[in-house]
Chain A
Amino acid sequence: MNLHTAILLLPDALLLAAPFIVLFVDLFFNPQHDARPVRRTLTVTLLAVLAATGAALAWGAPEVVFLNAYRVAPWMLWFKACFAGAALVAARMAEPCFAGAEGQPARLTRPGEFFTLLAFAAGGMSLTLSARDLITLFIGLELATIPLYVLAGYYRRHEDSTEGAMKYIIMGSLATAFVLFGYSLLYGAAGHLQFDALAAHLAAHPGDPLVRAAALFIFTAAAFKLALAPFHMWAPDVYHGAPLPVAAFLSTASKAAAAGFLVVLFYGPLAPIRPALAPVFAILAAVTMLVGNLGSLRQENFRRFMAYSSIAQAGYLLLAFLAERDFAVGALLYFLTVYLIANLAAFFVYALVRGEGVAAVNGLARTHPALAAVLLLAFFSLAGIPPLAGFNGKFWLFTAAAGAGRYGLVLFAVLNAVVSLYYYMNVIRAAYIEPPPVGRSVKVPRDVAWLLALLAALLLGLALCPAFNRAVFAAAARP
């Protein structure tokens, strides 16, 4: 193994080492179990992961296969950077959230474990994408979800949190059962677990009904994880109960991981089945958009609101799977990167304001104009208003659907985007027009100010930067 292949494995090695580093520091160098030292450790490790991902994208080999079971390619690195970035921002969010403010149930007890579990989840997501056989894929997905069940119930004295975690673990286990059933049917049909052998078998027998049934089961499980419409019921309750940083991580990294899982399978071994499933994708995309948008219209609680908003965004995301591989992966990478940034920025502002309701940002423009501006950019980007990167993301997804000849679906998606404008604007209206409440104190530490400025600058700058576009589609074009 030379340097160019080794450099591709570095991000994963660091990401999988991160939980151990955090645990180690917490055990030996943090006798008081304070949040700050462990959070800093995790931040430094994740920054190293991001740097390693950048280095791998710039200087790495086109792909590397490790131990015959693990494969790293450029588009996966992009996803891995997303997971690490989301974990980084969510970890920084944790501190103001758990500071014991009113309306928040508890302080962050056992911060070391909290950050460890967060790192485990990010590592599992990264593993899922790099799998080359069904067993690694399954194990990676489990490593990504089991820590999230615990994180969702981290306020364990709080009824909503426990209820949400319980729903999450039951629905998640059901999805796991579905995916396992799908894998076993697939194994029964092909007699192989390796992706290469599976792809060869499927290319030889594309009409095998057993494979079709397997693909349906696997897609159902992914639909659970993505919170697509008939399988979305858990999302609002889980987000509502989960601590704010966990809800932010669930709505960003977890969603990206589920999308990556679909890419791995439906543009990998299951690619011959994808055209047959296209009507299913189209119908679910339409239903999901509608349900998400109608659901967010009248939400009072911020996390519930963001849950429905993320359901609607998952509907748009599904449009990408109607297109051919290279374009679909490029559109997904673009959309997900921008969606992650916007969603994390929006969650972060609410974490600083420390409110449960959507109305917690009332009058923010008068008291904290910079925070209000970040909120404005984030929600404009989520709504897809032109000068911002969110518009380009949606544009690529809609182009993907249009390229597959589904103009009716594109029209429906555009109408949905118009509906979503209403509720995103509602938040902006609260921040800019409503009077501020009395006695709200918002402290913005300097590093958070820089982080939010960076996120806002990315939302503005990425859209105007053709190099970003080129980089995304170049990474996607190399399978």
Chain B
Amino acid sequence: MTVYDAMFWFFSLALLLCGVLVLISRDAVASALFMVLGFIFLAGLYLLLEAWFLALIQILVYAGAIMVLFLFVVMLLDFREKRRWWHGNLLGWLGAPLAVAALLAALLPVLKRAGALADAPEKWFEGTLENVMTPVFTRYLLPVEVTALILLAATIGVVVLGRKETKP
């Protein structure tokens, strides 16, 4: 096992552990903080893939800005009710294993073939700012511009839902 492999296993297992901890933490703030930790491990995976820019953005935007927003919301709403393991939802407890079984049935053939997947793709890009941003402003210009429309629509929506009603 090379150092690279060891780091891959460390980051991915830590990421999975954080994901599970997000789900089972009793406190919403603890859940959010485990999510930050998970984001940092994910950034580690990006670094292993030589996606430098993505790793940086992952930490700056997700672990930084977005999670701070999450924490604000969690603290503002101040959940008193503690979450429990058993919700008494029989359908959920029966359905979840079924869904997981179906997912495994779909993904098991993939895992069997994992060796073949490990072949490196034909083209390998180093994730520098230039390599990431050139397609954004050439081939994917249209979807990037449409993202601005989505943001505008979301902003209008937030203003509509959030403003005080002046007229009855």
Contacts and interface: CB of A to CB of B under 8 A. Distances in A.
A150 B110 contact: no
Contacts of B123: 191
Interface residues of A, number: 42
B157 A209 contact: no
B165 A139 contact: no
Contacts of B121: 191
A399 to B, nearest CB: 32
Contact of B149 (A16, A110, A154): A16
Contact of A127 (B106, B113, B146, B168): B146
A214 to B, nearest CB: 9
Interface in B74-126: 106-107, 109-110, 113, 117, 121-123
A69 B142 contact: yes
Residue from A23, A69, A114, A157 having most chain B Cβ neighbours under 10 A: A69
Interface in A77-133: 107, 109-110, 113-114, 116-117, 120, 123-124, 127, 133
Given A157-B165, A210-B110, A150 B146 contact: no
Interface residues of B, number: 31
A281 interface: no
B66 interface: no
A156 B165 CA distance: 10
A61 interface: no
B156 interface: yes
Interface stretch (A140-148, A306-314, A418-426, A432-440): A140-148
A209 B149 contact: no
Contact of A69 (B141, B147, B167): B141
B33 to A, nearest CB: 22
User: Would you call the interface of chain B mostly helix, strand, loop, or mixed?
Assistant: helix
B168 to A, nearest CB: 8
A210 B121 CA distance: 15
A143 B150 contact: yes
Contacts of A107: 167-168
A153 interface: yes
Contacts of B159: 113
Contacts of A153: 161
B19 to A, nearest CB: 13
Contacts of A188: 117
B37 to A, nearest CB: 20
A188 B114 CA distance: 12
B153 A19 contact: yes
A261 B165 CA distance: 37
Contacts of B143: 69, 133, 135-136, 138-139
B160 interface: yes
Contacts of A156: 161
Contacts of A143: 146, 149-150, 153
A70 interface: yes
B139 A68 contact: yes
Interface string B128-168: 00000000000111110011011011101111110101011
Contacts of B147: 139
A2 B68 CA distance: 51
A69 B167 CA distance: 45
A473 interface: no
A350 B25 CA distance: 48
Contacts of B107: 209, 213
Nearest to A119: B153
Contacts of B140: 69, 133, 135-136
A142 B156 contact: no
A210 B122 CA distance: 18
A150 B161 contact: yes
Given A69-B141, A213-B107, A113 B156 contact: yes
Nearest to A33: B167
A157 to B, nearest CB: 7
Nearest to B163: A110
Contacts of A19: 149, 153
A291 interface: no
A32 B146 CA distance: 31
A110 to B, nearest CB: 6
Nearest to B150: A143
B112 to A, nearest CB: 8
A109 B139 contact: no
Interface in A193-220: 209-210, 212-213, 216
Contacts of B161: 150, 153, 156
Nearest to B106: A213
Nearest to B142: A69
A151 to B, nearest CB: 8
A67 B143 CA distance: 10
Given A120-B156, A136-B146, A139-B143, 10 more contacts: A19-B149, A109-B165, A116-B153, A117-B153, A120-B149, A124-B150, A147-B157, A150-B160, A156-B161, A209-B107
Interface of A: 16, 19, 23, 66-70, 107, 109-110, 113-114, 116-117, 120, 123-124, 127, 133, 135-136, 138-140, 142-143, 146-147, 149-150, 153-154, 156-157, 188, 191, 209-210, 212-213, 216
9 contacts: A69-B143, A114-B160, A117-B156, A120-B149, A150-B161, A191-B122, A209-B106, A212-B106, A213-B106
